Structure 1
Amino acid sequence: MLLNLMERLARLMAILGGLVLTALVILTCVSVLGRGLNTLGHSTFLTSISEGAAAALLATGVGPMTGDFELVEAGVAFSIFAFLPICQLHGGHATVDIFSTTFPRLLNRVLVTFWEVVLSAVILLITWRLFVGMEDKMNYGETTFLLQFPVWWAYGASFAAAVVASIVAIYCAVARVVEFFTGRSYMPYSEGALH
């Protein structure tokens, strides 16, 4: 039952992260297209063919979207933290197992359990530091350069996703330790799948 809850929570965050990432891709494409059309309107190529077409194109106000990189920066940070729970729950993190495939099964189980606990501690540390950073940005009232939206909004969104990642990470660490001692699986994949 708890695994199902973690699975739903992780999937919900992954869907939110995917929606934000999709919106950022669309935003980037629109901005690049606008920048390209603006460059075309100012080009000697188009003005030599038709000054009227160049003037008409520029009159539409076409150009890059203001603050696109600020939105992409904030959105990608959120998306990374939103994808972290599903990656943690399904053991999707990159591993280097050059030597561990030759280790005995017990040693591999110890290593998987150990690294699960360490990774969970690192996620908790990152979440805490995101909170501290968010508080600092709130206290100083820092805003982005072009759009002038408060920087803490990006920290807040990332912090919310990191809290979910921390909850899932704690579950994974506890599940791995219990699994190590009892032999019963509480994860959607087995440690054998890692090798």
Structure 2
Amino acid sequence: MSEPIAQVAPAPADPLGRLLDVLSRLLAIVGGLLLVAMTLMATYSIAMRALFDEPLLGDVELVQMSCGIAIVFFLPLCQLRRGNVIVDVFTLHASAQVRNGLDALGGLLMALTAAVLAWRSVVGTVDAYGTGEESIIMGLPIWWSMTAFAPGFALLALVALYTAWQDFRGKGQSI
């Protein structure tokens, strides 16, 4: 027996939702391009190691930094399109009003968490800049990769507030 294919919510129709959708998609595209670049770089490094015993030094550092950025950049679109994992065992037979209320609460908690992470990302970036912390092999300043976290988490906070508001009004697009 085949499993049903998971569905995600369509793009929002209201102006604020469309703006958040465009910003979220732009971040996700940048995250995807980062992953493609890291894949190509890792492939190059592996090929150079296998063929000429000359790997690209620091490739692991770059992959770690870029993957962290990419993950943060995917989160707002995932939240907006309701792509997060939802365990509905306890609410399967609950009314739409109860489910919307719980989804709104979840959105508010996500917004709060994302806002705290954005704030702490700024603090961490400033601290890493101030201490001059660098990666071990390449000597890259750590703060440059950390600068991308705050905007990603800030957009996630805004998107989560938007989805919470939609759920609170009963206009959420839960699938």
TM-score range, shorter chain: 0.7 to 0.9
Structure 2 counterpart of 1:122, which letter?
Answer: T
For 1:105-144, what aligned pairs fall within 5 Å after superposition? 105-144=96-135
1:9 to 15, 23, 34: 23
SS in 2 for 1:102: coil
Q: What is aligned with 1:30?
A: 44
Q: What is aligned with 1:97?
A: 88
Q: What is aligned with 2:161?
A: 170
TM-score by length of 2: 0.85
Q: Cα deviation per residue 1:133-189 (whole Å; 9 max; x = unaligned)?
A: 111101101011111111001111222322222332232233333x24xxxx3x5xx
Q: What is aligned with 2:63?
A: 72
Q: What is aligned with 1:50?
A: none
Q: Which runs of 5+ in 2 are unaligned?
A: 1-14
- For the structure 1 residues 174 and 110, does the alpha-carbon distance in structure 2 shift closer, same or farther, using more than 3 Å as the test? closer
Structure 2 counterpart of 1:118, which letter?
Answer: L
SS in 1 for 2:61: helix
Q: Extract structure 1 runs of 4+ deviating beyond 6 A.
A: none
SS in 1 for 2:92: helix
The Cα of 1:18 is off from its aligned counterpart by 0.6
How many aligned residue pairs are there?
A: 161
Structure 1 counterpart of 2:71, which letter?
Answer: I
Contact 2:114 2:153 in 1 (8 A): yes
Distance 1:124 1:173 in 2: 14
RMSD: 1.5
Structure 1 counterpart of 2:44, which letter?
Answer: V
2:74 to 61, 68, 83: 83
SS in 1 for 2:147: helix
TM-score by length of 1: 0.77
The Cα of 1:84 is off from its aligned counterpart by 0.8
Structure 2 counterpart of 1:131, which letter?
Answer: V
Structure 2 counterpart of 1:90, which letter?
Answer: R
More displaced 10-residue stretch of structure 1: 98-107 or 145-154? 98-107
Q: Which protein has the bigger helix share?
A: 1
Q: What is aligned with 2:148?
A: 157
Contact 2:31 2:70 in 1 (8 A): yes
Structure of larger gyration radius: 1
Q: Which runs of 5+ in 1 are unaligned?
A: 40-62
